[in-house]
Each structure stands twice: as C-alpha cells, then as structure tokens.
Amino acid sequence: MKCYDLNIKGNSYNCNKELILEAHRLGWDYFNLLFSPESYEKAIKYKNNLRDEIEDIIINNLRNKIGLEFGIEIHPKNQNELYKLTKKYRNKTKFISVLGGDLGVNRGVCENIQVDVLSRPYLNLPSCGINHVLAKEAVKNYVAIELCFNDILSSYLSYRSKIMAHFREIIKLHKKFKFPLIITSGASSIWEIRSPRDISAIFKYLDLFEDEFNNTIQNYPQKIIEFNNERENMIILGVKKI
C-alpha cells in the first residue's frame, strides 16, 4: 500500500530532507510539503534538487520511489480574502490547502472547487466546524477535509480529549455523507512523525476502521493528486483539452 502524507510543514532545505527521510523510514511514500505563500517561491526552486538527493540516499531501499510535491497553505481571515487568495495562487501551485477555524471560511472552502483541502476545520472552535450542509458541499466540490494527527500529539489533557471528540464527530459525518477525508501527520520535525500503522491504531479507537483509514491515506489523496495534475487542461469541470 502506498501511503500519502499531504501535510508536512515545509522548512529549510536540510530540515525538509531529514523529515522526508525519517518519514520514508517509517513507511510513508508520498510527501506534500506545505509552505506559506511567501516562502513557497523560494522553496519551489530547490524541489528537484531535494528529490534527486533523497532518491540518491534511498537508492538501496526496496521502496526507492518517492513522490514529492510542494503546496501552499493559506490562512484567510474571511470569505473575501479566501476567494482573492485562491484565485491568486491557483495557477502557481498544484496544491492549495486552506486552514479552517472560522465558520465562514469553512463554508467558503467547501463551496470552492478551486481549493483542494480544508485543513483542520475544528481549530479554535467549540464544535467540529463541519455540519451536514458543509458535508454535502464538500462532496459536491470534492474538497477534502483534513484531520491533522499533530493536533492530538501536541496537545494534552482536556484540550486533547476535545480534539479527539471533534475527530469523532467529523468521522461520523464522513461515514454518512462520504466526503473525502484525509489524515495527515502535520509534522514539522522528526519528533512529530509516526508510522501510518501507528496512526491507524489511534484512529481505530476513534471509530475509523482499517478500510476507511486506508482510503484516507491512499485513495482520497491519490484522487486529489490525479485531479490536480489534470486541472490545467480542464476548461470547466468535465471538459478538458486533449
């Protein structure tokens, strides 16, 4: 099984290299490094070098093919800013993730086909940030909802249990409405990365069983990547240049 991690926090060249090598050792195969719009321009210049260097190091490994992509994570304050930023960056990158945490932004993202992922919709909210209306919109526009493992890892006591409760609620909605759900590590250093099987063990406790978990780390991310690779040839949804 190929495991996709669509949210690794981009940092300096060496940090990224270390993080990817460690994640590969633990069983991940595809890495999507997310940068802020300001640092993305600088980072995209060394993408090919980074991929070559990592492939040179893991040449003796059985799983010596890795996938590497760079994306942008945007933090809009309101819906207007969301539309401006997505329009601005859509043609510059293959992957746009929007940080949730505001009910208006969550709604705007779910209704926007230009966005790939709504990251952490529960952030700083008393609820999980998703309801049946947003769930249906997410299905319609194929916007994936992201659950970030690092949120559980970096929190403790009541805050951790609240985040786990939000995860449970989102998983419940996912089972009912079948919107794309992805699980990511959200790691920014080697201390925050865990193997896919470890993460699976935790999500099993949150009512996400093995088949569903495999979809969240393999099938849904794969579909998002395939869709994004064809996005530039698409005139409108369903019509593409050949």
Q: Which spans of this chain sit near another protein (rule: CB under 8 A)?
A: 14-15, 17-18, 21-22, 26, 57, 152-154, 156, 189-195, 197-199, 201-202, 204-205
Paired tokens of 210: 């093995």
The answer to whether 163 touches 152, Cβ cutoff 8 Å, is yes
Q: What is the closest distance, in whole angstroms, from the C-beta atom of residue 166 to another protein in the complex? A: 16
Closer to another protein by Cβ: residue 154 or 222: 154
Q: What is the closest distance, in whole angstroms, from the C-beta atom of residue 120 to another protein in the complex? A: 18
Q: What is the closest distance, in whole angstroms, from the C-beta atom of residue 53 to another protein in the complex? A: 9
- CB environment 42-80: b (16+ within 10 A), e (fewer): ebeeeeeebbeebeeebeeeeeeebbbbbbbbbbbeebe
Q: DSSP letter at 143?
A: P
Closer to another protein by Cβ: residue 90 or 162: 162
Q: What is the closest distance, in whole angstroms, from the C-beta atom of residue 135 to another protein in the complex? A: 26
In 10 A of CB 146, how many CB atoms?
Answer: 25
Paired tokens of 161: 């249990």
